[in-house]
Chain A
């Protein structure tokens, strides 16, 4: 459990430091059960910070999407740190970003949040539709949902996000300050969901994906929400040369998703931000988890677990398996 008072006090302390530019955390959302990212620029802003099972966003994305605007003549670029709150899964994004040298370790101040799981907002909304304002708390093995003066308890499993059901790293793997006590691992990942898909025939697989990719609106929410998609010039939207057409049809949509999945092979840290962001409910983690499983089996490699290990695609060992090469 994270003590909110302590969380706010630490945030205040951190933002008061001369070498910190902002603290990125969570604050209550504008409707329903949602929470949203908060950007603390001065101590008073920290008073609205929260942490709850509604804090579903991976804030590590914000470290890498900030535009690098030209600095006016005579001014120095702001080199102060960005402090960011991360759950266990989110912390792996920072490790992977560090592994890829996206920025220096000094650039970030990591505030770790040991996490017992967050909700799948779609499941919450389906269960409690059209609630204008409500709260979610985790008490033991139950989510306590309160709204309009009522309180309901729901078994944790029923509303828990899928990624949390297989979480192996509830406590952040990197942090400068931990905002709560370590959470013991409460789940495991046997990749049985991937095996179900692997067993489908080629035609069945295509039928499955054709339905999903057909409805893709190409809004790029999956890419933009992804903490590992931070190329300044993305191959998927590059205009010259145009590797990927902007046409929205089953062919280009399929190419888009396959290309994105390939670019995340050995890099995806399983935070599920893509799938969560998708307005069309495309199960993007099915793709990412297949790659994740393959990489793990072939190279005994897990992205985002060790900032000292080199990125998978920049390593070569003569012992690398090559039986999958045609």
Chain B
């Protein structure tokens, strides 16, 4: 499909038209950028770097009800995901979109996760190419992505100054652009986009050679490297909860008043001590060393050995947000050298 133009003064109107769906866009909460459902185009904050929490949470919420129950009664009231309606995530970064195609593989693997899959099918991803790397710790180009990658996206927007170039990338994307057709003009410059893409990739400052890492990591099980790289770890969940590909969850029952309750699932983090705690009290990952080893191994070894993809898209959040500057690239460098 030809590249269209969305003039910046028509973005508000386009967003209004998209509000017939559940429209999710980057917005500001004080100075923090978060993805949330918006009800006014003015809430959308499109001139942003990247959000603190990835938009993954719109498809895989941090806490979600699976079903409701009344204690002692056999009937369960299952959550109807369809009620949430068609969703459009507007303006997500290419790394976060790539992350969704990685997370898809997990929820589409040995068990078809109905909650995730239904929501995923009802969601259209509209990307925003990174003409400038959002952070100094971006390294998407080392792990199979790029600032203009369209993987996982349905529509791509590129900021061309006074307009956004709009590219529908598949049928879902075309359907969406039809919704806002009256705001679009012809004449997007595809060649210019290609030039910008090459320039943007050249601006990425950090990198890592991933060749052979996936095979090497399991050979380092008893290596001292893990103790060294985890020494400063505080054991918090920042790196995992802000990661666009992390997908671990826990399931718990929450009983409310009068025996009513819900079974819900919520994000869990392998960096937490309770994550692997057995009912017996035994913990097979008793310290931050084993937990750090697991986080890195899962992303760079276990996941690729099962699904062929490194479960990291190089968004840099875990580096940027770690309170004590634990740096996955620094860890990987030490792994390569170990």
Contacts and interface: CB of A to CB of B under 8 A. Distances in A.
Contact of A221 (B29, B286, B288, B323): B323
A221 B254 contact: no
Contact of A30 (B62, B269, B274, B319): B319
Contacts of A218: 62, 237, 241
B71 interface: no
A318 interface: no
A217 B241 contact: yes
A61 to B, nearest CB: 7
A281 interface: yes
A34 B326 CA distance: 11
Given A36-B232, A281-B30, A57 B62 contact: no
B324 A219 contact: no
B327 interface: yes
Contacts of A36: 232, 324-326
Interface stretch (A88-96, A167-175, A241-249, A255-263): A241-249
A187 interface: no
A131 B238 contact: no
B320 to A, nearest CB: 8
A214 interface: yes
Interface residues of A, number: 44
A32 B63 contact: no
30 contacts: A30-B319, A31-B137, A36-B232, A36-B326, A37-B231, A57-B324, A65-B235, A67-B287, A132-B136, A212-B30, A215-B29, A215-B34, A215-B53, A217-B237, A217-B241, A219-B242, A219-B269, A221-B237, A221-B323, A225-B323, A237-B272, A245-B252, A246-B63, A247-B63, A247-B264, A248-B62, A248-B63, A248-B266, A249-B63, A281-B30
B231 A130 contact: no
A224 interface: yes
B236 A277 contact: yes
The bracket for how many chain B residues form the interface is 35 or more
B329 interface: yes
Contacts of B240: 219
Contacts of B241: 217-219
Contacts of A248: 62-63, 266-267
A221 B323 CA distance: 8
B59 to A, nearest CB: 16
A298 interface: no
Interface in A212-244: 212, 214-215, 217-221, 223-225, 237, 239, 242
Nearest to A54: B325
Contacts of B52: 215, 217, 279-280
